[in-house]
Structures are given as structure tokens and as C-alpha cells.
Amino acid sequence: MWRLAWDRENGRRHLVVLGCVASLLAPVVPLIQPLIVRDIVSGAGQQRALLAPVLLLAAVTVGEALLTGAQVYLLKRLAEGVVVDTRLALVRRLLRLPIAEYDRRRSGDLISRLSADTSLLRSVISNGVFDIVSAVLLGIGSVVVLALLDPLLLAITLTSVAFAAVVLWALMASLRGISRTAQEHVGRMTAEFERALQGVRTIRVFDATDREYDRVARRAEDAYGTGLRLSRREAVVQPAVTTAIQIAIFMVLLVGGYRVSAGSMALGDLVAFLLYLFSVVLPLNQASRAITTVQVGLAAVDRATEVLGIPTEREAAGRLPAVAPCAPDPRRFVRFEGVGFRYQDGPTVLDGVDFSVPRGSCTALVGPSGGGKSTVLALLARFYDHDAGTIRIDGRDIRDLSHEALRARLSMVEQDAPVFAGSLRENLRLGAPDATDDDLCAVLKDVELGGLLDHPDGLDRDLGDAGVVLSGGQRQRLAWARALLHDHELLLLDEPTSSLDAETESRLQRLLRTRRTDRTTIMVAHRLAPLVECDQIVVLDGGTVTATGTHASLLRDSPLYRTLADHQGLGGGTGPAPPGPMTTTGARAV
């Protein structure tokens, strides 16, 4: 937090310096006022002229108000800066985490850290740390002056203050842990509610609204219970401090009044002592509230720091073992060589996968569900790093390329075809920010989404959260349009037509062929009809390659592929297999 406040690039160092200066000067003025009041009281008793000390007291009071106002503004401005810097640092980190981190963390909890937790930092700066500093300085200065005025009354005062300090010390140790637990419960509640919103239509259809409400309510009750624990501890702090203050004041009045009546102490000194006593008491009360605020804020800092400490995708990759590059071979533009992979704490997904993809060709990955087809694309895009073997593009191990350099060579249509909240134009320009409106309109017509342009807002039409105004097929075609605009040499398609009817699917496949030219395409599909004209088909089963070839040759030589084709009515009438290389059971087609 303080590192962000002092960062040279954000230009807020002057606010930190000015805030510290204001916090250091703020306690000085209250130390002057009691001395002036003592002179006024003494002067009134001796019938001296009081105009000068009264004017001086007024000037000091106005100066204190101005100084306090400047301190409040500077600290609140600094606090807002720290909050926005922390949020930006979290966003920067959250958008660059390894994909595996998103797999194991609830997105609602991450959102809670970004929104609710960072809001708590505001009070740590504006009403916490600097308040404690001011209170300590004012308290020390007051104690020094009180020792000079009357050591006996000071000893009485410190006895009561020590009691309050012990209570504070005992309670504050647990506040940070309880506050962090409360914030974690709020994060879980946010995650449960986000889950419900994402599936609200399904929830309605299955009449599960009340059950989902109960799930969120249980998390809310957990946060409520932890909040009560925190409140109970905070509730003890204020009465303890107030009681100590009252005891100190009563004892000072009792002993001081007796000494004034006995003539051993001047009335002006007693008045000054009481004013200085308030300079000790009020900071103690202020510090008790500030310490509570700081403990709660530090719990938020802990949660933010935890995220900021997670290595980014690039940092997590680190320095991997170097693999000697091979000479580029257009027949082996993409090569999987003995690739193995397993998801974290899961079973093996890919085991010894070998195949090659010629440049400019179209290769399909087929096989039963769970065979590792989508994982192949995920590894090729380096969403995960493989555990064994080598993946090459143009002869280079993809781990020798940065994530950015690798992804600059490919486009992708994902299985879920995500559409982002925002306009049609914003969605299309996600990977092609420089595309013109003419480019956008042309690609929409190519993927048969020209009808979207008939809307009065045209390209500025708001697609709603997750593209709710579009059908499943429209969302998938929009993903196609986005990939075609982001035109690179390698196109990865993961079930790209699962939401489309057969006729639309056929037209998109023809579009892909006409625009392919030098582009290399690797697609995952369960429907085999669109794959008949692919240059190569790789059959995956149980994480291994069982066959590689064309549609016709696989019908002849791969029992698994033939079974898949028979189930889809594609098993007969294919004629003899065309000439060309074809291997089975783990061999590579080159």
C-alpha cells in the first residue's frame, strides 16, 4: 500500500510529504492553546489587559481550523489515489494470472477483493494511520507539558490511561484476523451470487430460485456472524476508553480542586492542566477508533497482497529447459512430439501425443469426449504449459516464445463463444482495434450476421451482459467474425459450429476454405460431416493419438473413426482410399 503511495510514477509523493507535514503540525497548535487560556484566566484575576491574548487565541484557533482542513483534504486525496492505484494494480495482475489460477479460484471472490476490500483502504489512509501518528505526537507533547505543570496529577492521569491502553492492546490483536475472515465470507457470498446470476434462466426453469437464495443466504449469514464477532470486540473498546477518561477527569478535578482550595496550586494551572488532559484523552479516544480502522484495513491489504503476490502467466513460466530449434519445415508447421499433460491434481489428459500439421492445411481433431482434443488447442495457445515432450511452431519450441509473441501468430474460436458486455463494434474490435466500420460490416455479412446492422444503433447496438440479446448461433458466428478480423497464420477452432444448423455450418466451412489461402487451421469437432474435406484428421482417444489420415483412409483403417462415422451416417459409400501417407496408433503423418 505504502509502496504504491510512494511510487515515483504516480506523482503522489508530494501528497505523502504534505500529508506527513500536516499531521506533524496538527498536534502543535492544541499544545499552545492551553497556555494562552492560562494567561487569560490569570490575567482576569489580576485585572490585566486581555485583548492581546484573546486575539492571539482567536488567531491560533483559526490557524488550527485551516491546518485541520488542509490535513483532511490532503489525506483524503492521498487515500483516493492509493485506492485507485491498488485497484489498477489488482486489475493488471488479475488479467495476467495463469489460466490455472482462474480454474481454482472463484471469480466472485476476486471481484470482492477488487471492489469491497479496496474501499476499506480509503479509511486506513484518511482516518487511520495518520490519525494514530497525530494522536501519538499530541499525546507525547501533552504529557511533557503536564509533567512540567504538575507531576502528581500526571501520575493520576497515566494510571487511568494505562488501563485503557491494556484493554486496547488485548482486543486489537484479534481484530485483523476476524476482519479478514469477514471479508472472505463477503467474497464467498459475492461468488455465490455471481454464480446464480450467470445461470438465472436455468435456475428459473428448474424452479431452483429458493434453493439458490438459500445458498447465498448461508454465505451472507456467515458474514453476518463474523461481523457480530467484530462488533462485540469493538463495542468493548469505546466503553473501556471512555471509562478510563472519566476516571482521569474525576480524579484530576478532585485532587486539583482540593489543592487549589488549599492554595498549593493556581486556578490557571488547574485550567491549563485540564485542557492538556483533554489533549491526552481525545487522542486516546481517536487512536482507539483509528486502530480499529487500521486493523480492518490491514486485513483488506492482506487479501490484496495475496493476489498481487501470485506470479503472472509470464512469471510463472520462468526459465524452461531450452530445446534446440529445428529447421522450419512447411510439412511440419505445427508439431506435437511426445506431448504429455495433466491438469493440476488431476489424471493424465495427454500421453505421448505425436502429430504434425503442414503449413496452410486444415487438420481436424476428433474422438470421444474427454479424449484431450480441446486440451491440445489449450496447450498450443499456451493457456497451460505441457508437462512432457515438445510442441513446435515453425521448428521452434513454443516455450521459447513469449506468450504475446506466440498468440500474435494465432486466432481462436472458443467452444463457449464468449460475447462481452458492450457494443457490437467493441466485440468485433477486441482483436482488431484498427478495423474500420467497413471491415466490420463486411465480416458480419460474411458470417451471415448482416441482419444485426438493421438495428437502429447499428454497430453501436448494446449486446447486453454476455451477449444476452443474441441467440447461441449468433454468438458463435460473432466469435467467427472476431477470429476472421484477427487474421493470423494459425486458426484454432474448438467446436466452432456446435450451435449452428447444418446449412449455416456448411456455408461457414466454405467461407473458411475460400479465405484460408496460407492460413493453417486446426479444429476440434464432434460432427464429422464438415471434416470430410479436411486435409488431415487426427483421432484422439484416452489422451493418445490412435490414427491419423484423411476421412476416406480412416474409414478403412481406424475402427474408432469408423464407429464414429457410422453413428453419424457417414460410414458408407466413400470409395477407395485416396493415395497418400496415413499412419495409425501414434505415428505422425508428414
Grid look-up 502528581 returns: 152
Q: Which three cell numbers stand for residue 222?
A: 456467515
Pairing of strands 362-366, 536-541: parallel
Domains of the chain, by residue range, sit at 2-313, 323-409+491-590, 419-487
In sequence order, the 6+-apart residues with CB closer than 8 A to the CB of 242 are 285
DSSP codes, 247-283: HHHHHHHHHHHHHHHTTSS-HHHHHHHHHHHHHHHHH
Looking at the domain 419-487, which fold is it? Answer: Rossmann fold (3.40.50)
Q: How far apart are CA 563 and CA 577, in angstroms?
A: 17
pLDDT reported for residue 106: 83
**Residue 213: per-residue pLDDT:** 87
- How far apart CA 447 and CA 425 sit, in angstroms, is 15
H-helix or E-strand spanning residue 353:
strand 348-357
Are 494 and 524 a contacting pair, CB within 8 Å? yes
Cell of 33: 492553546
pLDDT in tens for each of the 590 residues of the chain?
455 555 545 555 666 677 667 666 766 666 677 777 777 776 665 556 677 778 887 888 887 788 778 777 877 787 888 888 888 888 888 888 888 888 888 888 888 888 888 887 777 776 666 667 666 776 777 778 778 878 888 888 778 777 777 776 776 667 778 888 888 888 888 888 887 877 776 677 777 888 888 888 888 898 888 888 888 877 777 677 777 777 878 888 888 888 888 888 888 778 878 877 776 666 666 666 777 777 777 788 888 888 888 888 888 776 555 556 666 666 778 999 999 999 887 899 999 999 999 998 899 999 998 889 999 999 999 999 999 999 999 888 998 888 888 988 888 888 877 888 889 998 898 888 888 999 999 999 988 888 889 989 999 999 888 888 888 888 888 988 888 888 788 999 998 877 777 777 778 878 877 776 678 999 998 888 888 888 999 999 989 999 999 999 999 999 999 999 988 887 754 443 333 433 333 333 32
C-alpha cell at 548: 491419423
Identical topology for domains 323-409+491-590 and 419-487: yes
Beta bridge partners of residue 397, listed in sequence order: 392
Q: Which fold has domain 2-313?
A: ABC transporter transmembrane region fold (1.20.1560)
**Residues paired with residue 494 on neighbouring β-strands, in sequence order:** 524
Q: Which CATH superfamily is domain 323-409+491-590 in?
A: P-loop containing nucleotide triphosphate hydrolases (3.40.50.300)
Per-residue exposure over 31-66, b if at least 16 CB sit within 10 Å of its own CB, e if not:
bebbbbbbbbbbbeeeeeeeeebeeebeebeeebee
Long-range Cβ contact pairs of 61-70 (< 8 A, separation 24 or more)? 61/33, 63/29, 64/26, 64/29, 64/30, 64/33, 67/22, 67/25, 67/26, 67/29, 68/26, 70/18, 70/22
Question: DSSP per residue over 312-329, as a string?
Answer: PHHHHH-SPPP-------
Cell (9 digits) for 301: 491489504
3-state secondary structure of 539: strand
Amino acid, res. 543: G
- Given a contact cutoff of 8 angstroms between Cβ atoms, the answer to whether 488 and 466 are in contact is no
- For 352, the 3-state DSSP assignment is strand
In this predicted structure, what is the pLDDT of residue 279? 67
